[in-house]
Structure 1
Amino acid sequence: MDLIPAPIAVRSTSTDPGLPLGPATTLAGGPGTEDAERWLRGALGAATGLALPSAADPVIALSLDPALAPEEYRIGVDAERARITAGGAAGAHWGAQTLRQLLGPEAYRRAPLRRTGWVLPACELRDAPRFGWRGVLIDVARHFLPLGDLLRYVDLLAAHKLNVLHLHLTDDQGWRFEVKRYPRLTEAGSWRERSMVGYRSAGRHDDRPHGGYYTQDDLRELVAYAAERGITVVPEIDLPGHTQAAIAAYPELGNTDVVDTAALGVWPDWGVSSNVLNVSDATLAFFEGVLEELLEIFPSDYVHLGGDECPKDQWRASAAAQARIKELDLADEDELQSWFIRHFDAWLTARGRRLIGWDEILEGGLAPNAAVASWRGYAGGVAAARSGHPVVMCPEQYVYLDHRQAEGPTEPIPVGFVRTLADVYRFEPVPPSLDEVSARQVIGTQANLWSEFADSARDLDYRAFPRLAAFAEVAWSALPRDPAERDLADFERRMRTHYARLDALGVAYRPPTGPHPWQQRPGVIGRPLPGPPPQV
């Protein structure tokens, strides 16, 4: 039935004509399925023109069964009824998403192309995810994505049964989260005077101001919209590095005994700024205030605090930082960063939350309750898993979707390794070096969409799709752990139908034959890396 991601098992009853849908078709859900029922009625109603009213004995019925896991579901369709049975609200939504797939690509339109001839194929289907964390990072700090576009991406994630939106809200190039007690974070920190065009070696800028931020109500809307679709939004406030936008807004946060932080603006370049937070008690208190407001908006168990790519040069030169190292009896600047992260690990733990950070938080000692997002390959994730910490595998060599999709001059702003659709389909989140006990610490996997080279939703579409469909199947489906044993030909066959779904959704994906002329960026310099990425 060309389903993506592939379910655990599906049996088609070819002798059964299926379930026709028409004006008399009703739809209703039992307790706990209200969000899925409302979404399914809206999605199918828009595409088919059918009202799908509620009824005591509905034609399409949703219900919960506590014997199933929360994200597990079953679908049964015959000539009289379609039944979605799930273990929880999220499972009901995933079942509803699959039911829409069963109706074909036209079911993804927002207005009916036809009002008759809709038939659900007769089938029995059972399904459940492999991983509990099936994430996508969207970087809104480098290039701001308006709320409407972000809500659209929630729908795209949900259509692929991806359940975590990791929102990269702050960086050197912009601060996107409204903090009411610190208004200058958005007044000054949310926009930059210009932006770099392409890779920094070209030294090219557009000389156009760029900015934007989300109000707290914007983010509450996003969280609620995502939750109705089975998606958790995990916010990221990056610290102690990648913080020049915050320092530009509040210069006292920087290492004032080393640089004139009052002269800093929001950074217009890509890369890693040398300007990082100081390690004073006042700075810790400042970010506790930021996080207090963050926790009021985001109910996620995990809060991402970055911890990556923090240059230590200013701390080495800072008398205040060196005094802090001596005061705390630390060995070096790596341990100073670990102390900084440990402070917020304890702070979040005391409030019933859990810190997650990039794998650099292992350096100088891993905080006791922290989880690790392993991006510099698998090594950090392996070390964290072996020490009993939760791990999200997102190695840049495999699932950084800002990396180029092919060789050749037509790829727009080519960066990184070549990662084709087939390459992503062969990605395995759990490396064979982990034993069975440690492997259970890999709670999931994530694809990352960094936006230095994607300045619009159209550009983001090009880099995300179709590869995000392959990633979704890796994260959800019970594929063989040995990538060589995966049926790539079958996936590519199912993708032929899925391209039509993406067309109906208005996704500006990269065609299999190469970019359209308007998707190319001739003359804009990238940074392609030679050869294949390193092996596991």
Structure 2
Amino acid sequence: MNKKRSLLLSIILLSFIMESFSRDIIPQPLEMTEKEGVFSFDKRINIYANEANMPEANYLTKLLQNEFHITAIPAKSAKTKGLVLLVDSSLKDHLGAEGYTLSIDGNGVRIEGATSAGVFYGIQSLRQLLVKQGELWQVKFVDIKDNPRFSWRSYMLDEGRYFKGKETVKKLLDEMALLKMNVFHWHLTEDQGWRLAIEKYPELTTIGSKRDSTQIGNWESKVYDGKRHEGYYTKEDVKEIVSYATERHIKVVPEIEMPGHSSAAIAAYPWLGVTKEPIKVPTSFGVKYDVFDVTDPKVITFLQDVLNEVIQLFPSDVVHIGGDEVKYKQWLENKKVQAYMKKHKLPSPADLQIAFTNDISNYLEKKQKRMMGWNDIMGAELHAFNKDAAPVTGRLAPSTIVHFWKGELDMVKDAVSKGYDVVNSYHVFTYLDYDYKSIPLKKAYDFDPIPDGLEPKYHKKILGLGCQMWGEWTPTVASVYRMTFPRIAAYAEVGWTAKENKNFDRFNQALKAFYTRWGDEHILYTKE
């Protein structure tokens, strides 16, 4: 073989080897510069972390052992060759609260952040960059500077319809962490089931967490499975899950529905309802007739008691109260409710809901919590079943976070112009219960939480986005996974990656590594 041919083959081989180390990260970083060279992880590697970062060092140590069979040995100096994790608060102006830098060279891996959250996200990028070559794990030399586009990057799991259990929740939290998602929105109460133990009101779970049968098929179906469904989380379960999420820098935001979607609670305690008559936990889906009697002081006391226990369980600074799809018919038909509205000069049932919602907001504020609710709480007419209700005149409490899901996008612009912070979860782009024909992967990827035409001065009022796994037609864990994966990765990139850095072809290529991971983790996914 002549020298020129040998040199050409060497160059081709080197290019092939280096290409095998080139990995795209999901979500795509802000800045990423690859360099010549690779760093090899031995079976044992040194790891150093300053005191503020010890939990992340412990997390990475376990991760290396469990995923890569590498043993990390604590080192005493940041000058060690291996892994260095540093929190430096002076970097906040440069990187923000969740940003990080990741540098890999011949000395090893160095991750820095203004907070431990930033370092944690740097670890998630490192996980994706590692490539196995023979018996060793290696990573290409690289410099990354990264921070997220939005501060609210949420995945919602609805367990009111079907209880899934804490092991499923933990698995979802693990996948969220890898994708740098930071809010787990936990929908725990519904018409069809109450899933959270409340010490003061035990029948919420002894009665409200169970139903005799369940509608199956679709919204028009008259077929029921004839099977009992039940399940709820104890306080110990919740504490375990919250701790697990906190280790992964994920905030758990509980949703306790009020005043609608409350049939399971009314089934447990009939005096919570407007009619005060007994009902059963519904077996069918859809918006139900029964709602809380928000004019009854005993009902308000109940809700405050529930919120007190919720606040003790969840350290989140935000509590979601739902507030969507409240059928006003019961309020309109009830003389006592109508008298209350007249006495308090509330001209419409929407005004009654706003007054109630503001009282809950004020109560939560006294507990140093911020209220969040679906955009129905602003009083706009969103549903045909309330089309005859009088227009709203009241105004929502200013500290409310408006969770937009339905209506014209001008409603988002209206909300931010009135001073409200908004999380944009527009259903036609973000509802994971919609099939892949309605929301294909590219449509999910192309979603922008900032509506077209929104004035730049309001952009910071858009906190971010959520993707919602509603549970009516996903009775099994496998069905939840199939609808969630891979679209959750698209939403993760929507929430993190700078708009100018997004590229669907690059993203789709990077998904290949995730398909392998999900297969290894026994997570069913849909590949379009």
Say whether the fold is shared (TM-score over 0.5): yes
Aligned counterpart in structure 2 of residue 453 of structure 1, from 452, 457, 473: 473
Aligned counterpart in structure 2 of residue 126 of structure 1, from 120, 145, 150: 145
The residue that corresponds to 2:27 in the other structure is 5
Superposed counterparts of 1:405-420, under 5 Å: 405-406=436-437, 418-420=438-440
Amino acid in structure 1 at the alignment position of 2:306: V
Greater fraction of residues in helix: 2
Aligned counterpart in structure 2 of residue 355 of structure 1, from 348, 371, 378: 371
1:100 aligns with 2:127: yes
| Alignment check: 8 A CA contact 1:342 1:368 kept | no
The residue that corresponds to 1:397 in the other structure is 428
Separation in 2 of the partners of 1:185 and 1:380? 35
Amino acid in structure 1 at the alignment position of 2:450: V
Aligned counterpart in structure 1 of residue 318 of structure 2, from 302, 312, 329: 302
Superposed counterparts of 1:121-200, under 5 Å: 121-200=140-219
SS of the residue aligned with 2:397?
A: coil
Separation in 1 of the partners of 2:39 and 2:519? 26
1:277 aligns with 2:292: yes
Identity %: 32
| Alignment check: 8 A CA contact 1:103 1:119 kept | yes
Separation in 2 of the partners of 1:24 and 1:184? 53
1:252 aligns with 2:268: no
The residue that corresponds to 2:87 in the other structure is 64
Separation in 1 of the partners of 2:473 and 2:518? 22
Residue 495 of structure 1, CA deviation = 1.9
* 1:192-212 Cα distance to aligned partner (Å, 9 max, x none): 111110213121110101110
Residue 115 of structure 1, CA deviation = 8.8
Residue 450 of structure 1, CA deviation = 0.3
The residue that corresponds to 2:520 in the other structure is 504
1:318 aligns with 2:334: yes
SS of the residue aligned with 1:342?
A: helix
Residue 382 of structure 1, CA deviation = 2.2
The residue that corresponds to 1:90 in the other structure is 117
| Alignment check: 8 A CA contact 1:49 1:115 kept | no
| Alignment check: 8 A CA contact 1:359 1:374 kept | yes
1:78 aligns with 2:108: no
SS of the residue aligned with 1:403?
A: coil
Residue 498 of structure 1, CA deviation = 2.7
| Alignment check: 8 A CA contact 2:152 2:464 kept | yes
| Alignment check: 8 A CA contact 2:215 2:221 kept | no
Separation in 2 of the partners of 1:331 and 1:502? 53
TM-score normalised over the length of structure 1: 0.88
Residue 455 of structure 1, CA deviation = 1.1
Amino acid in structure 2 at the alignment position of 1:403: Y
Amino acid in structure 1 at the alignment position of 2:419: G
Amino acid in structure 1 at the alignment position of 2:191: D
Amino acid in structure 2 at the alignment position of 1:119: Q
Amino acid in structure 2 at the alignment position of 1:283: V
List runs of 5+ in structure 1 lacking aligned partners: 107-113, 407-417, 513-536
Amino acid in structure 2 at the alignment position of 1:232: K
Separation in 2 of the partners of 1:505 and 1:30? 32
| Alignment check: 8 A CA contact 2:258 2:321 kept | yes
SS of the residue aligned with 2:215?
A: coil
Aligned counterpart in structure 2 of residue 462 of structure 1, from 482, 493, 498: 482
**Alpha-carbon distance change, 208 to 115 in structure 1, aligned in 2, over 3 angstroms:** farther
**Alpha-carbon distance change, 232 to 135 in structure 1, aligned in 2, over 3 angstroms:** same
When structure 1 is superposed on structure 2, of 211-220 and 65-74 the one drifting more is 65-74
**Alpha-carbon distance change, 373 to 225 in structure 1, aligned in 2, over 3 angstroms:** same
When structure 1 is superposed on structure 2, of 242-251 and 144-153 the one drifting more is 144-153
List runs of 5+ in structure 2 lacking aligned partners: 1-22, 380-391
Residue 24 of structure 1, CA deviation = 3.5
| Alignment check: 8 A CA contact 1:35 1:229 kept | no
Residue 367 of structure 1, CA deviation = 2.3
The residue that corresponds to 2:384 in the other structure is none
| Alignment check: 8 A CA contact 1:195 1:208 kept | yes
Give the paired residue count: 483
1:222 aligns with 2:222: no
User: Root-mean-square deviation (CA), in Å?
Assistant: 1.5
Amino acid in structure 2 at the alignment position of 1:33: N
Residue 458 of structure 1, CA deviation = 1.1
Separation in 2 of the partners of 1:476 and 1:319? 51
Separation in 2 of the partners of 1:238 and 1:382? 25
Larger Rg computed on CA atoms? 2
SS of the residue aligned with 2:145?
A: strand
* 1:239-283 Cα distance to aligned partner (Å, 9 max, x none): 000000000000000012xxx621x11111111111001121110
SS of the residue aligned with 2:52?
A: coil
Amino acid in structure 1 at the alignment position of 2:154: G
Separation in 1 of the partners of 2:464 and 2:502? 19
The residue that corresponds to 1:373 in the other structure is 403
Amino acid in structure 2 at the alignment position of 1:63: L
| Alignment check: 8 A CA contact 2:398 2:419 kept | no
The residue that corresponds to 2:14 in the other structure is none
